[in-house]
Structures are given as structure tokens and as C-alpha cells.
């Protein structure tokens, strides 16, 4: 039997700050264990927290980027529980008055898994957010079988918890949600959001039911998800497991399960855990915050979001929605495109096509990113000028490009001349066209009979006769003038 799937995500994302949330210890990754600690982040008795203004501002900035509202006053709470990576036995967090409320995350088509992009079930879907609250991260635990090691360098790092409404219906949508959210936070300067460094972590809540009118099934929470692809695998497994149970009449008990990616299965950790189990109460050590002045400050930092940038590219440059989304997905790529398209002699469509289909392909083969490309956009623009003016064919431009990537200071026109790519004279081109027409009477007859696609065949014959020196567009136009 098929079931309706409902998914909500709790994303924990480290804010991009130099110091921790409640002390002056430096935030770090992969440094010597326990070298960035103090009495506050170690939870020693009597140590008092001091707020990091930048952590609050980054969270409010995330809220603005995700169209959230903020209460006039935001306050702090203590979440009480015993874990070895939280020695105070409570976490300073926000329960009653978080910094951000509501908002949403757009699911970008480009962020869906490749195998789903051609048939997205709910294109343009936006996932509603419940809240974003700010808290302190816990220490990092490393388990060694019969012992565990604790590194407190991470403890106290500003950690945003971004809680979605149950608006997702599949693992593919969860995948797109995480990639879209990650992209917005990274481009907005809120967080590096690197899952490999533990800066972005995710808990998944899943319930299934038989019919739309049925109440939601009991919620199963999945933890220990360390990559976006692992989230997709875990959801697919858990939906199948719960469905098999319901098929046999076994109802689900609200519980938390651990995902073992090596085994490809989830394992029960604990059952029936709700907010009241944590015994929240107001933090006596921290005053509430008035958000108004901070919001006015960070409002100036709100950047153009990926979907806004993509829409602008479509409107201003006439490129396809897909190409616009590819370019807008990466800030260095977007900056390169804008510098390239700023050349008045290079149409935006041609710039986008060259960048996505030619330059990026070569850089990927060379294991280089666009941010590290040795070829400046201005020099690439000069190369495209030669193509637009008819001095170079596109295949010739690709060969010149390979040389320019090795010697970016060289002039594209000079490189083309050195390689023997000098354009054929107009008279030569016309003579080559006449030769091709004479040598292919059958194709000529079909073209005159209405099969205009064969003009491309004759263009190829002329290019061979000219040894690549003729401009294909010019050749095609001459052939059309002679035959149509």
C-alpha cells in the first residue's frame, strides 16, 4: 500500500563569527583539540556568559534573507539535559522568543538531484519556516569503541537552528531544500555552511499516513546525518521501513533513531521525546534583546538572492532559466559572467553559453574552479569579440582559449594569428560556397525543395574547403542567399 509522506527538517548551522557565542574564545576547525576553551565554554561553575553581537546579527541577516519576521524583543532560555558534550547539563538557547519567526525557503530547480530535475513534482514550491533561533553548539565527540574523546573547541560556537514546517513530501525535496538553504546562507555571508566541517547539520522528522484526511502519523526523528546525499538515503530507507511496519499493522511510536550510513539503516536511540522533556526555563544570566536597532544595521547587508539574480539574468540578458540558475548558483561564476557580459560587443546569451559549455568544461578537466581561473573575464571577452566579429570560428576560439589559459597575458588576436587562424577573404568564401554547391547537386536540390536543414551540411563542406578559416555564420548566410 502507498502512503502519504510528511517531512520536516531541523537544520543546525554555525554562524560565521570569529569568536564564540558567549565568550571570547576563537572559533576554529581542525585545530589542536581543546586549545580554544575558557571557563565559560567549558561550563565551569560561576562562569558568566557575555553575548556576541555578531552572532545575533548573522542570525537576523539569515532571517531577512529567508523573509522571516522578528519579534520586538527576543529572549534566552536554558534547555536542560545531560549529555557528555554539554558539561553544564543545560544549553543556552531560545524557546519562547526566538530571533526569527516564519519565512520560507524556495526550492531551486537546479538544487534537486540530477535524476529528478526533468520531472520535478512541485516546481516552484517554497518550504515554510517555523522559526530560527540562536544557541550555542556542543563539543565534538569521537567514539573509540570502549572510550570517547571530547574536543571543546567547537563548544559555544554560535549555532542557528532553522526549523521548517512539515512542508516536504519526498527525499528529493529534502535534498533540494538543504542545497537551496545552503546556497542562500553561503551567498548571503551568514555561514560557510560546510557539512564536511560540521558547520551544517540536519535532523529529519518523518511521519507517514494512509490518507489526506488522516492525522499525521507519529513522528520519527533521524539523527547523525552528515551529508545531503545521506539525508536522501536515510529518508528513503525510513519511509520504506515505516511503510512495511504499517502494512503489517505495526503502528509507529514517536522516537529518535540514528542513521548508520555504512549499513544503510536506522537504529533506535530513544522513544517519546518532546520539548517538555527538556524542562526549559528563562536564562537568568542574559538580558532580552531589542531587535529593532540590529535589524536596521543588518538590513544594509542583505544581498541579492540566487532566485533574484537568476530572474535578473533572464530579463537583462535573455538567457534561459536553466542557464540563469547555473550562473546564479555560484557567486564567483556570477561575477565572471557579469564582467563578461559587460562587454558591449558580447551578447549575454553568447557569454553564458561560452562560460557554461566551454570555459567551465575545460576548467573542470583541469580541476580548477572559476574562482581560480587564470584567465580574466576581460581577456575572455576579447576572445569572444573575435568570434562575434567573424574573425574566429567557435571551434578555433576553443583552441585559442587553451593557449590563453596557459598564457593569460597574451592578446587573443595575436594568439589566433600565431595559430594561423586568419579569416578567409569574402571572395574566397564565396568561391568555396560555389565549389560546395557544384559538388553536392543532390543536397542542393533537396534544399531548394524545402529541406533547409541541409544548409548546415553544405556549411560543413565549405568549412573543410577553407580549412576552418571561414566564419560559419557568414558561410551559412551566403549559401542561403544563393539557394533560397
- Is the same domain home to 468 and 319? no
Rounded to whole angstroms, how far apart are CA atoms 384 and 367? 23
Distances from the Cα of 453 to the Cαs of 188, 193, 264, in angstroms? Answer: 47, 49, 52
Asked whether 127 and 164 are in contact (CB, 8 A), the reply is yes
- Is the same domain home to 190 and 314? no
Question: At 453, which CATH number?
Answer: 1.10.10.410
Rounded to whole angstroms, how far apart are CA atoms 387 and 413? 10
Count: domains in the chain: 3
- Is the same domain home to 125 and 155? yes
- Is the same domain home to 358 and 399? yes
- Is the same domain home to 333 and 256? no
- Is the same domain home to 216 and 338? no
- Is the same domain home to 436 and 333? no
Asked whether 7 and 206 are in contact (CB, 8 A), the reply is yes
Question: For residue 282, what is its C-alpha cell?
Answer: 528563562
List the pLDDT tens digit at each of the 484 positions of the chain: 789 999 999 999 999 999 999 999 999 888 999 999 999 999 999 999 999 999 999 999 999 999 999 999 999 999 998 878 888 889 999 999 999 999 999 999 989 999 999 999 999 999 999 999 999 999 999 888 889 899 999 999 999 999 999 999 999 999 999 999 999 999 999 999 999 898 999 999 999 999 988 998 999 999 989 899 999 999 999 999 999 999 999 988 999 999 999 999 999 988 876 656 788 999 999 999 999 999 999 999 999 999 999 999 999 999 999 899 999 999 999 999 999 999 999 999 999 999 999 999 999 999 999 999 999 999 999 999 998 887 887 888 899 999 999 999 999 999 988 887 766 677 888 888 999 999 999 999 888 888 988 999 998 998 888 877 777 778 888 988 888 7
Asked whether 459 and 476 are in contact (CB, 8 A), the reply is yes
Rounded to whole angstroms, how far apart are CA atoms 440 and 432? 12
pLDDT digits (tens, 9 = 90+) for 79-95: 998 878 888 889 999 99
- Is the same domain home to 438 and 331? no
User: Helix, strand or coil for residue 150?
Assistant: strand
- Is the same domain home to 84 and 204? yes
Give the structural domain span for 68: 4-299
- Is the same domain home to 269 and 194? yes
Q: Answer with the one of 380, 398, 418 that is the final residue of a domain.
A: 418
- Is the same domain home to 389 and 443? no
Q: Answer with the one of 283, 299, 315 that is the final residue of a domain.
A: 299
- Is the same domain home to 75 and 111? yes
Q: Answer with the one of 279, 299, 319 that is the final residue of a domain.
A: 299
Residue 218 φ then ψ, to 5°: -60, 140
Q: What global pTM score does this model have?
A: 0.86
Rounded to whole angstroms, how far apart are CA atoms 184 and 329? 9
Asked whether 40 and 22 are in contact (CB, 8 A), the reply is yes
Amino acid at each position: 500500500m502507498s502512503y502519504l509522506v510528511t517531512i520536516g527538517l531541523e537544520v543546525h548551522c554555525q554562524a560565521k563569527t570569529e569568536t564564540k557565542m558567549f565568550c571570547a574564545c576563537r572559533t576554529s576547525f581542525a585545530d589542536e583539540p581543546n586549545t580554544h576553551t575558557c571557563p565559560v565554554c567549558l561550563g565551569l561553575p560561576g562562569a558568566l556568559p557575555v553575548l556576541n553581537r555578531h552572532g545575533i546579527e548573522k542570525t537576523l541577516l539569515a532571517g531577512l534573507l529567508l523573509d522571516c519576521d522578528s519579534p520586538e524583543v527576543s529572549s534566552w532560555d536554558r534547555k536542560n539535559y545531560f549529555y557528555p558534550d554539554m558539561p553544564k547539563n543545560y544549553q543556552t538557547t531560545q524557546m519562547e522568543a526566538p530571533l526569527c519567526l516564519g519565512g520560507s525557503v524556495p526550492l531551486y530547480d537546479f538544487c534537486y538531484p540530477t535524476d529528478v530535475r526533468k520531472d520535478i513534482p512541485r516546481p516552484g514550491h517554497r518550504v515554510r519556516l517555523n522559526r530560527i533561533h540562536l544557541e550555542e553548539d556542543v563539543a565534538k565527540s569521537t567514539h573509540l569503541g570502549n572510550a570517547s574523546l571530547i574536543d571543546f573547541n567547537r563548544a559555544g560556537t554560535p549555532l542557528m537552528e532553522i526549523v521548517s514546517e512539515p512542508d516536504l513530501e519526498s527525499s528529493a525535496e529534502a535534498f533540494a531544500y538543504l542545497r537551496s538553504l545552503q546556497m542562500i546562507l553561503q551567498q548571503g555571508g551568514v555561514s560557510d555552511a560546510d557539512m564536511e566541517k560540521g558547520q551544517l547539520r540536519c535532523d529529519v522528522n518523518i511521519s507517514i499516513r494512509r490518507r489526506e484526511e488522516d492525522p499525521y502519523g507519529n513522528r520519527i526523528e533521524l539523527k547523525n546525518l552528515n551529508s545531503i546525499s545521506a539525508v536522501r538515503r536515510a529518508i528513503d530507507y525510513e519511509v520504506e521501513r515505516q511503510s512495511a511496519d504499517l502494512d503489517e499493522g505495526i503502528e509507529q511510536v514517536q522516537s529518535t533513531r540514528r542513521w548508520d550510513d555504512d549499513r544503510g539503516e536506522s537504529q533506535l536511540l530513544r522513544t517519546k521525546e518532546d520539548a517538555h522533556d527538556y524542562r526549559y526555563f528563562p536564562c537568568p544570566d542574559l538580558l532580552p534583546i531589542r531587535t529593532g536597532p540590529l535589524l536596521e544595521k543588518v538590513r544594509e547587508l542583505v544581498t541579492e538572492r540566487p532566485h533574484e539574480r537568476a530572474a535578473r539574468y533572464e530579463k537583462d540578458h535573455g538567457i534561459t532559466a536553466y542557464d540563469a540558475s547555473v550562473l546564479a548558483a555560484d557567486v564567483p561564476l556570477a561575477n565572471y559572467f557579469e564582467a563578461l557580459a559587460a562587454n558591449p560587443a558580447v551578447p549575454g546569451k553568447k557569454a553564458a553559453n561560452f562560460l557554461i559549455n566551454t570555459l567551465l568544461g575545460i576548467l573542470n578537466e583541469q580541476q580548477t574552479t572559476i574562482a581560480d581561473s587564470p584567465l580574466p573575464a576581460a581577456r575572455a571577452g576579447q576572445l569572444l569579440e573575435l568570434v562575434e566579429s567573424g574573425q574566429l570560428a567557435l571551434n578555433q576560439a576553443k583552441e585559442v582559449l587553451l593557449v590563453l589559459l596557459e598564457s593569460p597575458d597574451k592578446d587573443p588576436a595575436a594568439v589566433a594569428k600565431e595559430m594561423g587562424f586568419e579569416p578567409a577573404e569574402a571572395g574566397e568564401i564565396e568561391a568555396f560556397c560555389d565549389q560546395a554547391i557544384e559538388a553536392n547537386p543532390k543536397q542542393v536540390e533537396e534544399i531548394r525543395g524545402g529541406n533547409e536543414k541541409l544548409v548546415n551540411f553544405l556549411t560543413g563542406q565549405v568549412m573543410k574547403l577553407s580549412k576552418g578559416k571561414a566564419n560559419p555564420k557568414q558561410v551559412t548566410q551566403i549559401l542561403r542567399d544563393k539557394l533560397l
